[in-house]
Structure 1
Amino acid sequence: MSGYRRVSFWMDQLVASGRDDLTPRPPLDGDRSADVCVIGGGLTGLWTAWYLHQADPSLQIVVVEKEIAGFGASGRNGGWCSALFPREAAEIAEHTGRDAALAMRRAMRETVDEVGRAADEAGIDCDFVKGGTVLYARSAVQDRAARAEVDASAAFGDDMVYRSALPGDAAGSVGVAFTPDCARLQPAALVRGLAAALEARGVVIAERTPAVSWAPGRVVTTSGTVSAGAVVVALEGYGATMPQTRRRIMPLYSLMIATEPLSEAAWGRIGLEHGQTFSDYRHLLIYGQRTADDRFAFGGRGARYHWGSTIRNSYDRVPRVFRHLRTTLAELFPDVGDVGVTHTWGGPIGVPRDWCASVTWDGSVGSAGGYVGDGLSTTNLAGRTLADLVRGVSSSLTGLPWVGHHSPDWEPEPLRFLGANAGLVATDIADREERLTGRPSMAARVREKVTGH
């Protein structure tokens, strides 16, 4: 693979299937004016443009993107369109009240269906199947965590259920929690399809057009300045590379592998159906799906944070983490056998200091992000919310508790480097500790006090 195909399995699949050759759109050609200028061609920016255009087709909208649409997390993620939100409902209730927490949970559940509906409306084939998420509890400690999550979720309207493990579940499972509020999809197909649908409707998408700075009324790029009444900043983890947002977000790397396709017989033994995603209750997060072409797409954390929040293409591939992911997949599902790994990739996710996503609008400049890996659906909710805020519309969305939330800045280096990587080590230790002791981890408690998560 070469060029943008190498970004992820999802991007390569688009090219291999003839659905998109990933040829960059023309860059901005000098100064121009618009009603709205969006910085970032990922799902946050494109969904914002989509709903703005739906509400008012007369708006002149320009999207500027440093690489190509979907180059960042939007084209690399695990393909979970879920109702997950980085901050737990109980924590939202503690800070902003129970009604606000209930509204946030309801909005997230509805967003899963909205993504599928909007993709259909835009004519996007992104393998959207709402099959839910299977969460394996593979020890007594994890089983207690699963039962506790099911009980807690019921208090906020989530339809989550628990059952005892069955023979087809992941190896060593004691119990299983299940939520229906998740769809499996092909993320690059979604984001690239959305870009094409917007362009067909007259929205200008200038690729290979890095933004240099922004201010009320203008966005300065390397190819010209866009004068616009409204500016939307949608950079997610890449906000750490910009002077104006450098300490507002931390880029942490999440890596993935994709296997060769498995036989129908193997999938029958594994027990995962089309449309289902899966994880378990370990501390060092893993996530996976059965793809539309019967592969495992499987990812997790484990890559370290890099000094100064630097982002480089070389950080996308860490052989040690890929080996760990392949070993972990075989431990979960021995029936994968010796199936080969065909693709390895990764990329940065955006993490705010308090691990809470947000949408902001000051009357001329708006932003959204901090999804901590839960962005495939949350970007859609952000886009709808920003579209209302930009147009001055008061709605149930603009009243949600994440609107107007401002996370504190991350600590300066070297504190940020030491804290982030110490947290990663503590997370790994927590899983080892629980396997050895059979009790909830003390290391995890210490990490939560230090990092806030």
Structure 2
Amino acid sequence: MARGIPLTEDFANGGVSYWYRQIGMPERRAALPGDREYDVAVVGGGYTGLWTAYYLKKEQPDLRVAILEKEFAGFGASGRNGGWLSAEFAGSRERHAKARGRQAMIDLQHAMFSSVDEVIGVAREEGIDADIHKGGLVHVATNPAQRARLRADLADLRTWGYGEADMRLLDRDEQRERLSVAGTIEAAYSPHCARIQPAKLAVGLARTVAALGVDIFEDTAVTEIRPRDGGKASAVTARGTVSADYVIRATEGFTAGLAGQHRQWLPMNSSMIVTEPLPGEVWKHIGWAGNELLGDQAHAYIYAQRTADDRIAIGGRGVPYRYGSRTDDRGATQPQTVALLWRMLVKLFPAAADARVHHSWCGVLGVPRDWCSTVHLDHASGLGWAGGYVGSGVTTTNLAGRTLRDLVLRRDTELTALPWVGRQVRQWEPEPLRWAGVQLIYALFRAADRQENDRGTTTSPYARLADLISGR
């Protein structure tokens, strides 16, 4: 591990996230025992797949629904994320508005607001204890360029359905009262966010779905999804083939592992560290009594939470992409990424400088070529999918699950009319262009942050170039 980074004696890197280390690994369910037939087969046992199965069975209990998972339910980003149950939605609002009009995008934003409370409500109703606390979200700016960007973003949000009660700038006194972040010159607050313990939500949701009668097959890797060809759609595994009226792809950052999907969504890497529990004296300096989620306005941004057991969990991009759309080595984080996150933590919270790092891990999230999330179902082929959440998936997966329910049941609803439904985007470039492009984008973002920290008062030209290349 990198020199100079204080580590606990039982420090662990990868294997699982801290969230699973805290609660223990779930007992594995049985694998697919051979060929089977269902009404709906969901490929992927993360939040998207679990929510889709949940809402289908709640609405129509006689539906035969199965989930096929390569590892165990909640293994991927659903059990590794930063715990932001947030109303933030990935992608360009203008792009979404082009599909069905400006009001449709505003409706989508309002649907995200309500989805935060929907998740909280389901967790309460189903007895899922996921350390949920709706304390809101604070975004901080620590240099003039970030402040200008924060103000511009807020002004733009006002035109997309955000009222004063949905996000507002904090005055100095309230900012300090909520959360003391070193170097903050501006901060904004939104109430539409809750802290969660991600693995607890995944495990609890899987348990609930199984109790509803959904068959969850783990250790069952799907290698190919096939459309209808005079019969049913199918999901092919080494353990057998599952045929169904509808096969839903819910594989997010692992989509590239399916036949024919290698360039569909780019698996973007994100890493996290968590400290040991911090003493009361440190919290007196930091505050954070409201358990807000924390983000910043940097281009290579961070995201953080105060955990229910009084640690700081902080994440960021680290090494953003591996050549050939490879995924991480079972959650292992590179030493330089741990060091980077540690430096960011100490910069933001000097009072925590003596705290030791207890665990580090990473995972992948799905990024479409236009950086816009999507949900879709084709009745002719029997194939559907949802994902491309670009790191904003904890809440969006719930909205996706309810939308897929309505699409499968052939219902025209407010959800199926939202502008992210049916989006089609081009694939990512082949290698080595894909790898070179992502490396260049994030090198430019890092250069932009350095320039803005040194002397920038407006967004760096490096960042504008990175946005142009990325297509965001």
TM-score normalised by structure 2 residue count? 0.92
Runs of 4+ in 1 over 4 A off after TM superposition: 1-5
How far apart, in 2, do the equivalents of 1:204 and 1:176 lie? Answer: 46
Name the stretch that deviates more: 275-284 or 47-56. 275-284
In the superposition, relative to structure 1, how do residues 228 and 329 fare at CA in structure 2: closer, same or farther (>3 Å)? same
Who is 2:6 aligned against?
A: none
- Tell me whether 1:375 sits opposite 2:393 in the alignment: yes
| Residues 210 and 294 of structure 1: CA distance in aligned 2, closer, same or farther (over 3 Å) | same
**Aligned mate of 2:466, from 444, 447, 450:** 447
Please give the alpha-carbon distance, in whole angstroms, between the structure 2 residues aligned to 1:231 and 1:338: 50
The Cα of 1:84 is off from its aligned counterpart by 0.9
| 2:153 aligns with one of 146, 149, 156 | 149
Give how far 1:141 is off.
1.3
2:418 aligns to what? 400
Instruction: Return the offset for 1:147.
Output: 1.6
1:274 Cα shift?
A: 4.2
Q: Which letter does structure 1 place at the counterpart of 2:363? A: G
1:82 to 79, 86, 91: 86
Task: Select between 334-343 and 306-315 the one with higher mean Cα deviation.
Answer: 306-315
1:6–1:12 CA contact under 8 A, matched in 2? no
CA distance in 2, matches of 1:96, 1:443: 33
The Cα of 1:223 is off from its aligned counterpart by 1.1
1:275 is displaced (CA, Å) by 3.2
AA partner of residue 19 (structure 2) = W
What's the offset of the Cα at 1:78? 0.2
* Residue in structure 2 matching 1:11, options 20, 25, 42: 20
Question: Aligned-pair distance for 1:267?
Answer: 1.8
1:327-385 C-alpha deviation (Å, 9 max, x unpaired): 11010011113111101000111111000010011011110000000000000000000
- Higher mean alpha-carbon deviation, 100-109 vs 266-275, is at 266-275
Structure 1 position 437, deviation (Å): 2.5
Partner of 2:234: 218
Q: Which residue of 2 aligns with 1:160?
A: 167
Structure 2 CA distance for partners of 1:227 and 1:12, relative to 1, 3 Å:
same
Calculate the aligned-residue CA RMSD, in Å: 1.8
Q: CA deviation at 1:6?
A: 2.8
Question: In 2, distance between residues paired with 1:169 and 1:312?
Answer: 34
Percentage of matched positions with identical amino acids: 44
CA distance in 2, matches of 1:422, 1:52: 43
Give the partner amino acid of 1:430: A
* Structure 1 residues 188 and 4, CA gap change in structure 2 (3 angstroms): farther
> Counterparts in 2 of 1:85-234, with a 5 A limit?
85-93=89-97, 96-158=100-162, 159-166=166-173, 167=176, 169-215=180-226, 216=228, 217-234=233-250
Structure-2 separation of matches of 1:212 and 1:162:
48
Q: Give the C-alpha shift of residue 143 in structure 1.
A: 1.3
On the 8 A contact 1:5/1:22 being kept in 2, the answer is no
Deviation at 1:90, TM superposition (A): 4.3
Q: Which structure's relative contact order is higher, taking Cα pairs within 8 Å and 6+ residues apart?
A: 2
1:209-288 matches, within 5 Å, as: 209-215=220-226, 216=228, 217-288=233-304
The one-letter code sitting in structure 2 at the alignment partner of 1:425 is A
1:305 is displaced (CA, Å) by: 1.5
SS of equivalent to 1:126 = coil
Partner of 1:18: none
Aligned equivalents of 1:393 and 1:3: distance in 2? 47
Q: How far did 1:319 drift?
A: 0.8
Asked if 2 retains the 8 angstrom alpha-carbon contact of 1:128 and 1:275, the reply is no
> Structure 1 residues 384 and 133, CA, compared in 2 at 3 Å: closer, same or farther?
same
Helix, strand or coil at the partner of 1:23 = coil
Deviation (angstroms), 1:100: 1.2
- Give the alignment's TM-score, normalised by structure 1: 0.95
Q: Please state how far the C-alpha of 1:450 moved relative to its aligned partner.
A: 1.1
Q: In structure 2, what is the equivalent of residue 40 of structure 1?
A: 44
SS at match of 1:6: coil
The verdict on how the C-alpha distance between 1:276 and 1:223 changes in structure 2, with shifts beyond 3 A counting, is same
The reply to whether residue 320 of structure 1 matches residue 317 of structure 2 is no
Match of 1:58 in 2: 62
CA distance in 1, matches of 2:12, 2:156: 45
SS in 1 for 2:278: coil
AA matched with 1:441? S
Q: Which amino acid aligns with 1:426?
A: L
Q: Quickly say closer, same or farther: Cα 1:194–1:314, change in 2 above 3 A.
A: closer
Shift of 1:118: 1.2
| Counterpart Cα distance in 2 of 1:335 and 1:383 | 41
Asked if 1:384 is matched to 2:402, the reply is: yes
Report the number of matched residues. 448
Return the match for 1:423 from 441, 447, 453: 441
Cα distance in 2, alignment partners of residues 58 and 2 from structure 1: 47
Stretches of structure 1 that go unaligned for 5 or more consecutive residues are 16-20
Residue deviations 1:57-96 (CA, integer Å, cap 9, x gap): 1111110100000110000000001011112434433554
Partner of 1:432: helix, strand, or coil? helix
* Contact 1:10/1:186 (8 A) holds in 2: yes
CA distance in 2, matches of 1:146, 1:282: 10
> Could you list the per-position Cα deviations for residues 204-234 of structure 1 after superposition, in whole angstroms to 9, with x for gaps in the alignment?
0000001121223221111111121111110
Instruction: Select between 382-391 and 153-162 the one with higher mean Cα deviation.
Output: 153-162
1:290 alignment partner in structure 2:
306
CA distance in 2, matches of 1:73, 1:342: 20
> How far apart in 1 are the matches of 2:97 and 2:68?
37
User: Alpha-carbon deviation of 1:240?
Assistant: 1.1
Q: Which runs of 5+ in 2 are unaligned?
A: 1-9
Deviation at 1:242, TM superposition (A): 1.4
